Structure 1
């Protein structure tokens, strides 16, 4: 039985790279790197709402986890959108230790642009291979907090509206975003995918406070 929030990436600097951990029967555990490849890692990236896979990591690249090693010998196809749909050796049946914990590096599907720092700027999201913007209708600190955390940029310092960082181009992918503030990615929040009466004069932005070096894959 898979539960809500059943997948996470740990020990990276944002929610789109790290050690792969799965919640099964109420217990977090890891994935063995036996057979772990780009197809398996890509399924994780899709399930996490991140961009394309960059690297599949093995040999506890992001540190050794704890608890059960839940899955081994994954065989995901290029169409699997989550690990639950992939073939494997079965739950808890492998013989791996945590020195073989699998990890992944995915591209972020969110970026901050039109500034001198990757931790502040106009919010842009990647969908269907195309970057677009976010409408500022309903844009608030809870929404901005998810972006800052997803990018490894600390906490929200300022929420910006009305194309503060300049007008974007292309589609306006998201409108009326309603995040609780604890979501792993912006795409995990509820939103309207067909903006009403929104144009690039209403592009949303954010200034995040980064207490350490910001890590951002593009």
Structure 2
């Protein structure tokens, strides 16, 4: 079954998150026929949350207060998407995950006793919400010497991968370089899931 995903977003539900940039917590919503719909959480897994956070540039996910969202869902009736999501955790986008008909879902009326899917993502250190006074821990975290970096890219999050070894920066060979390898580097740098794994020295030897 070929299911087209028009668009995906994280929509802030709690007022504390509505004014935050970047948007890190809220309902996962999929645009379907021009309308935003929620995903039923009865078949949702942490691997799906990893993909959602990654596609928005967040390196990881964290726990959230489920009780508050339960109360909110009771007050406002959600409109559910017809499909369940099954990701391996390595996909760059929700549309690359296995999507199938939710069962038993009858014309968007029920979610089998479930609730709308919520994700809470951890922003990378360069994209953490501001302004918060920097604690000693965060200062130490910021001053840590990175072991991997990107060089030669035109935009943030793009570049030739360089690794620090014995006090010197060097490149790595692109044999067996894949989207999964690139994602490991991107998440380490706080950039979420890799969109593309370039090879052939396109960003300099």
* TM-score using structure 2 length: 0.49
The answer to which structure has the higher helix fraction is 2
Higher relative contact order (CA closer than 8 Å, sequence separation 6+) = 2
The answer to which structure has the higher strand fraction is 1
Larger Rg: 2
* TM-score using structure 1 length: 0.47
